[in-house]
Amino acid sequence: MNWFISPSSVGIVDFPTYLVGVIFTVLFPGPNSLYVLAIASVKGWRAGAWASVGIFIGDTVLMMGVALGAATLLNSSPSIFNFLRMLGAAYLAWMGYGFIRGGLARWHGTQELVSGDSQSRYFNNLHPAIAALTLSLTNPKAIFFFISFFTQFIQAEYAHPVHTFLYLALVLQIVSMTYLISLICAGQFFLSFFNRHRHYASALWFLVGILLIGFAGKLLLY
């Protein structure tokens, strides 16, 4: 059980630096954390918790994909990478559009706009876990981030690099889920406020929608 106590025993180099890097990476605003905060602020902690589960599963799948060679596949096939990149950008833009439409409906205090638009209605009825899972899986840049970030802290001579990778991935997931839980708590705090002031909730949804569309544009320019 020594590998639980000493990261160096599983081939990890400079674990404190890795931990600091993970914390700063997780704290940097991105579409995943933005979605959790927004959905928890408007729909409650259960929706935020389901969104966190979706992100956890999606990130786990991506990290396992890295371990199985997905990064090599994407590097060797630009067409696959470009397809995933465009798919991810389209999904982010679609989510942003749904947030903006939802914010507009809340601003007017009616669901007329949402019910009158099939895309917005589908977005509002989409389960948070499914939405977050898709959000995580449609970001091919995450695969290259994981491989480039993790390899900096793996001893080249270590005999079982998969063990090292899994250890690093576990630490990242623990930090990520801790942060997402804090966002859910923050969202729950704001929920009662937004219930009393629907215009502020509308402004939040507008902002989230615009930011998600911005993330979509950034992904296309990658």
Q: Cα angle at 222 between 77 and 203, to 5 degrees?
A: 130
Q: Is the pTM of this model over 0.75?
A: no
Average pLDDT over residues 80-103: 77
Q: What is the per-residue pLDDT for 139?
A: 77
* Nearest-angstrom CA–CA distance, 123 and 40: 15
Look up residue 79 and give its two tokens: 């067409």
pLDDT tens, 8-64?
A: 677 788 888 888 888 887 887 788 888 888 888 878 889 999 999 999 999 898 888
pLDDT recorded at residue 122: 47
What does the angle CA 45 – CA 26 – CA 92 come to, to the nearest 5 degrees?
A: 70
Integer angstrom CA distances of residue 68 from 62, 81, 162, 165? 10, 16, 10, 11
